Amino acid sequence: MNLTLHVWRQPNADVPGRMMTYQANAISEDMSFLEMLDVVNEGLIANGEDPIAFDHDCREGICGMCGLVINGIAHGPERATTTCQLHMRHFHDGQELWIEPWRARAFPVIKDLVVDRGAFDRIIASGGYVSVNTGAAPEAASIPVPKVDADAAFEAAACIGCGACVAACPNASAMLFTAAKITHLGVLPQGQPERHSRVIAMVDAMEQEGFGSCTNIGECSAACPKEIPLGTIAQMNSDLLAGSLHRS
Ligand code: SF4
Ligand code: FES
């Protein structure tokens, strides 16, 4: 199939960007979206032009590096699908596509379609861990974990930190990401000692990074490739209230 691409090009965060138009020809429906961009880049390089910068790593939907807004939708039109796992069979010959980076004040553009998601790293560093004593490994079955808690932790731990929730939210809120990280630790026995201090520190870090507030629109969960439920935000807010009361 042949496609017309309108791609955001921006040399760096200090220079204004603009959409530029390219042709993507002879694209197989079996290619992934990133493979289609690889083909376009090969053509640009062959012509001595600057290739389009975009993030990727695993290309298996597990690392969270990729992320493009395709025709206004974070990660494109397929639900529960990362950009790297989105295949060209979901588009049609002759289609026009608008490809943009995540747009949020807390995610400044590095180049073209690549944004700096260091804000997520700083939220994690503020409390997204459990502290354990070093020494001999504990007996694996010495801390029983109820099945319902294990399932809730697994569900929240599926977050790959891609940032689509921020890109999809009209407020550019990072509540779903932060809530997923808080929930997957907070519902396990190992996460209890720091449960209150963790939620206070991580929400504080999130607010300092310049993300917007949550107004319960739900676009974050709808765009999430791992389908993290909105209930994690309720869990985080509950923990935050408990942590605030505990502290005062
Ligand atoms: S909550 Fe979903 S959309 Fe947000 S960073 Fe995690 S995986 Fe990506
Ligand atoms: S490149 Fe790893 S999730 Fe897409």
**pLDDT for 175-197, tens place per residue?**
999 999 999 999 999 999 999 99
Strands (E), 72-230: 73-74, 96-100, 109-111, 114-115
Q: What is the pLDDT of residue 13?
A: 87
| Rounded distance between C-alpha atoms, residue 232 and residue 212, angstroms | 17
Contact at 8 Å (CB) between 6 and 112?
A: no
Q: What is the pLDDT of residue 141?
A: 81
Confidence band of 246 (pLDDT split at 50, 70, 90): confident
Model confidence pTM above 0.85: yes
- Runs of H (alpha helix) within 20-158: 33-46, 118-125, 147-157
Q: What is the pLDDT of residue 133?
A: 82
Confidence band of 110 (pLDDT split at 50, 70, 90): very high
How far away, in angstroms, is 85 Cα from ligand 2 center?
8
Tell which atom from ligand 2 comes closest to the C-alpha of 160: 3
Question: What residues are in contact with ligand 1 under a 6 Å CB criterion?
Answer: 159-165, 176-177, 180, 224-226, 228
- Indicate whether 248 pLDDT > 80: no
- Indicate whether 61 pLDDT > 80: yes
Place of tokens 């220079």: 15
CA 156 to chain centre: 13
Region 116-121: mean pLDDT is: 98
Distances (CA, A) of 175 to 21, 42, 57, 69, 203: 34, 38, 25, 19, 8
| Rounded distance between C-alpha atoms, residue 186 and residue 246, angstroms | 15
Region 125-154: mean pLDDT is: 89
| Rounded distance between C-alpha atoms, residue 52 and residue 57, angstroms | 16
Ligand nearest to the CA of 67: 2
How far away, in angstroms, is 200 Cα from ligand 2 center?
30
- Indicate whether 138 pLDDT > 90: no
| Rounded distance between C-alpha atoms, residue 107 and residue 110, angstroms | 9
Phi, psi (5° rounding) for residue 120? -65, -40
- Indicate whether 140 pLDDT > 80: no
| Rounded distance between C-alpha atoms, residue 58 and residue 53, angstroms | 16
Q: What is the pLDDT of residue 40?
A: 98
